[in-house]
Amino acid sequence: MSARQTFGLAVGALYTLTMKRMKSGGGWRAIRYTLKKGREVGLWNMWRAMRTRNACKTCALGMGGQKGGMVNEAGHFPEVCKKSLQAMAADMQGAIKDSFWSTYSTAQLKAFSPLDLETCGRLVHPVVLEPGSDYYKVISWEDAFRRITGKLLGIPADESFWYFSGRSSNEAGFLLQLFARLYGTNNVNNCSYYCHQASGVGLQSAVGTGTATLQLEDVEHADCVFVIGGNPASNHPRLMTTLKNVRRRGGDVIVINPVIETGLVNFRVPSDPWSLLFGTKIATLYVQPHIGGDLALLTGIAKRIDEMGAADERFLNEHCDGYEQWIAALRAISWAEIHAKSGVSQRDIDAIAEKYAAAKNVVFSWTMGITHHAHGVENVQAICNLAFQRGMVGRPNAGLMPIRGHSNVQGIGSMGVTPKLKDVVFERLQNHFQVQLPTTVGLDTLACMDGAREGRLKFGFCLGGNLYGSNPDANYAAESIAELDQIVYLNTTLNTGHAHGLAKETIILPVLARDEEPQATTQESMFNYVRLSDGGPRRHEGPRSEVDVIASIAAGVLGGRTPIDWQSMQDTGRIREAIAKVVPGFEQLAGIEKTKKEFQIGGRTFHTAKFPTPSGRGQLHVHTLPELRGEGEQLRLMTVRSEGQFNTVVYEEEDIYRGQDRRDVILMHPDDVSRLGFKENQRVTVVSQTGQMKNILVRPFSEIRAGNVLMYYPEANVLVPRDIDPASRTPAFKNIAVTIHADTPSRLTLVPIAGG
């Protein structure tokens, strides 16, 4: 061990002794953090920035818009959280200086952590990394456009792919997918293929729509909310106000998660004096299945409801297809199989079923602990089955609620950013613009990485996000991107993709943040609510608006070859007129800049049991329960975000709720630590079928179920295989079989599975 490592270990151990795990989420610490972030950029500046009429830049819960910043869809103020402040503070950074690019080589940038890169400052000039060079160099916008249009004009369209992040506006998303298709390819996809695609596919198969079936108002009247496979206390903090309200009304919050997350046990809502002072108990029941045990557990709850005679037979018969087959399969599954494959006792399953049976208005929410599995769609279908069983979908104050990540990830999907357009959108696009769209089969995100690796794709265009950082099998992702002739990134700040996701030629284009846009843009929340963002003054000279960049490149590539005046498409009002005509449910978008009327998208809220499936009825699905992963010597690993992180963006190294001061750690149950002969802070190598991570510190963590371990995403993506859910093609970021080896060359520790 080097002197540096020894020193790091000593400091790490000392810090661990001094870093206390929090007993509740939110609270004074959140308020202190708010003030600290505010002071970094000036309290008044931060206040003004947060109050502008723009949709929150971070999660899809959605705040802000025309009601003003920090206001939720129910009009409640102040709704603000650490995530939104972190994103705002990042956008309020100073500019990266020109000298930065000649100072740091790509080898040096590769050594930067995600946090180091994020805090380098705002991107303000286009830069290029040319073939054979080790340094990015600043170029003009004209030069950047010339390089990009030159490449696009020189290759067949199907050798390109177009990746979209959920942070871009509806207008930018719509315009870019239109450009890509008229350029000639359907290789159009978005970040949701690595997060909630399984929710969309699962919901579509069960209720005929891919989004939440309810509105925020419905959740505010529920008397029981399931929170499955997620940690909204860290990732969607303002949802905690809603959960607090459920508890205060005497309702139940049932949390299903292999890890006990502090904020889901007790949360101090800063905007509620009583909760702030005394804390609010969030989970009524907290049940810990093994990683990958959700489908068995959900099936077990349904089986118990059936045994209790608590099912709504009338609803199942009148409003669902497949009831007889489903109930027969449910009754045929043995309890022994359910216990073995979920890791949950009969007592816990009974307790959940009793709460569910007693509740009148139930909401089922879930996040990536459900979708990041090789059976992600089946997990979602099992949640739908459970909701159908008691008639908890297709009525007010109840329903299905996938908790989405990025602030406009749902809107990007609505805008047609998928390889295959819905038939109605395809027809309307052709008619509205008088164009012919390609009918070739488009590639999803992972298929694009495969295409690049195999040399079939030559060009990638990334509208925001971090394509490299969000991929499973990080080494494969880097190798795939390296095969491309050119990749173009549109971003506001640096990320690991700019250091590791390098093509033969890599171009970074700096763009404006949402609240700096010169024109209004729109976003869609996870409750299907469309917000209007005013934009605002730019903070730096240099970055351009996303629609400006897209329209300029489209004009250079397609000018004169299509009936569309691409330069005129820089006008976001014009784009909205087209969206209103093309995308069902968005009719009110056309005049929104004048009316200022934000709206609920038509046809997506189900307050009656009439579903947009071919039969108009809900669809029950039968499943075979998967075996728990991990054989003999393996543990089940799930990759997670920390408290100071949003998706691939890391704002803080520490994870205060889990009591961790750093990210190069593996969190293991103390029983596993001692049984395997490890010690706290011992360095180990974690090995999966895909890769390995050395120099990882063992951290005892009693909040995780024995037999399961946690590591931080995106760093641990190097361990994540490219195993996908066949129905949604979502990779299994949450269920990876690993072995752990002591970092002593002569000693190999084989790890038996525990608690299985």
Q: Which residues bind ligand SF4 (CB under 6 A)?
A: 56, 58-59, 61-63, 79-81, 83-84, 236-238
Helix axes 335-342, 346-358, angle to 10 degrees: 100
- Residue 581's region, left for phi above 0, alpha for psi from -120 to 50, else beta, is alpha
DSSP, collapsed to helix, strand or coil, labels residue 739 as: strand
Whole-angstrom Cα distance, residue 37 to residue 91? Answer: 12
Distance in Å, CB of 40 to ligand SF4, minimum: 18
Alpha carbons 25 and 657: distance in angstroms, whole number: 7
In the complex, minimum distance from the CB of residue 70 to ligand SF4, in angstroms, rounded to a whole number? 7
Question: Whose Cβ is closer to ligand SF4: residue 378's or residue 524's?
Answer: 524
Q: Which is nearer to ligand SF4, 202 or 237 (CB)?
A: 237
How large is the greatest C-alpha to C-alpha distance in the chain, in angstroms? 72
- Rounded to 10°, the helix 376-389/294-308 angle is 20
- Amino acid at residue number 731: P
Q: Between 41 and 138, name the residue whose CB sits nearer to ligand SF4.
A: 41
Among the listed residues 639, 161, 253, 217, the one whose alpha carbon sits nearest the alpha carbon of residue 445: 161
Beta bridge partners of 127: 138, 508
Q: Which is nearer to ligand SF4, 84 or 533 (CB)?
A: 84
> 69 or 731: whose CB is closer to ligand SF4?
69
Least distance CB 86 / ligand SF4 (angstroms): 9
Give min distance, CB of 230 to ligand SF4, in A.
13
Measured from the CB atom, is 282 or 359 closer to ligand SF4? Answer: 282
In the sheet with 521-524, reading across from the earlier edge strand, the strands are 521-524, 529-533, 599-600
Shortest approach of ligand SF4 to residue 646 CB, angstroms? Answer: 8
Q: Which is nearer to ligand SF4, 61 or 447 (CB)?
A: 61
Contact (CB, 8 A) for 666 and 673 = no
Q: Which is nearer to ligand SF4, 237 or 714 (CB)?
A: 237
The least distance separating ligand SF4 from the CB of residue 185, rounded to whole angstroms, comes to: 33
Q: Least distance to ligand SF4 from the beta carbon of 450, Å?
A: 33
| Contact (CB, 8 A) for 375 and 726 | no
Q: Which residue has the tokens 């947060």?
A: 50
Burial class (CB in 10 A: 0-12, 13-18, 19+), 372: buried
Nearest approach in angstroms of CB 211 to ligand SF4 is 16
Is the Cβ of residue 83 or residue 669 nearer to ligand SF4 in the bound state?
Answer: 83
Minimum separation from the CB atom of position 71 to ligand SF4 (A):
10
Q: Distance (Å, rounded) from C-alpha 297 to C-alpha 287? A: 10
Q: Give whichever of 49 and 63 is closer to ligand SF4, judged by the CB atom.
A: 63
How near is the Cβ of 426 to ligand SF4 at its closest, in Å?
Answer: 32
**Distance between CA 178 and CA 557 in Å, rounded?**
13
- What is the rounded distance in angstroms from the CA atom of residue 171 to the CA atom of residue 164? 12
Output the 3-class SS for 166-212: CCCCHHHHHHHHHHHHHHCCCCEEEHHHHCCHHHHHHHHHHHCCCCC
